[in-house]
Amino acid sequence: MYWVESNLDQIEVARLNGSFRRTLVAGDMESPRAIALDPRDGLLFWSDWDNMAPRIERCSLAGLDRTVVVRVDHVTDGAWPNGITLDYDARRIYWIDARSDSIHAAKYDGTDHHEIMRNHEMLSHPFAITLYENYIYWTDWRTNSVVRANKWTGGDVSVIQRTLTQPFDIQILHASRQPHDGSNPCGENNGGCSHLCLLHTNKT
């Protein structure tokens, strides 16, 4: 399992039982927020609210090949890249910006950046985001709701659920959101590793 250690501004990893905990990514990180993983491609993405350089970065699941995917422009894109989610089939990353009240998407390498929607009445303070088939789903703090929209156009907006308090994270539990096609070097005998088996571009 992977998680953000916000007090230390780093990303950590461990086995599901918590053993063999180690720091995966640290340094040059001011306010890491959300993370998303693609186990097929061996990639880890995260958002950072860094006041001077808000951005989305990625590295391998082994913590190697760290690179900036998207630099968030303060004027056009906002400055609070919050929740992120992945479209595994299209190999695109979607993220929410809580300052500009907008939703964006780009390819895994940061190209083909596209603004999905902005300043919609149901996108007034978005927090988390997920995806299923042709729709994106997000939580909104100001309207206390879970909302969905078309992932390409931002149209067909509808409220899925009203909540009594501010909704935080959101996840879709479905086989399509658990990609496992293709061989996984860690899938058999822990990849021959004695402790953690971490993927680096489909290699251990």
pLDDT at 74 over 70: no
| Most confident of the following: 115-119, 155-159, 187-191 | 155-159
Q: What are phi and psi of 24, to 5 degrees?
A: -95, -45
pLDDT at site 192: 64
Q: What is the pLDDT of residues 76-107, one digit of tens each?
A: 666 888 899 999 999 999 999 988 899 999 99
- From CA 4, how far away is CA 18, in angstroms rounded? 14
- Higher pLDDT residue, 3 or 120? 3
Side-chain half-sphere of 148: how many Cα atoms within 13 Å? Answer: 14
- Higher pLDDT residue, 85 or 30? 85
Q: Are 35 and 4 in contact (CB under 8 A)?
A: yes
What the chain holds in terms of domains, given with CATH numbers, is: 2-192 (2.120.10.30)
pLDDT at site 63: 95
Determine the 3-state secondary structure of 176 from DSSP: helix
- From CA 190, how far away is CA 122, in angstroms rounded? 45
Instruction: Give the number of other Cβ atoms within 10 Å of residue 162's Cβ.
Output: 10
| The Cα angle at residue 49 between residues 43 and 50, in degrees rounded to 5 | 105
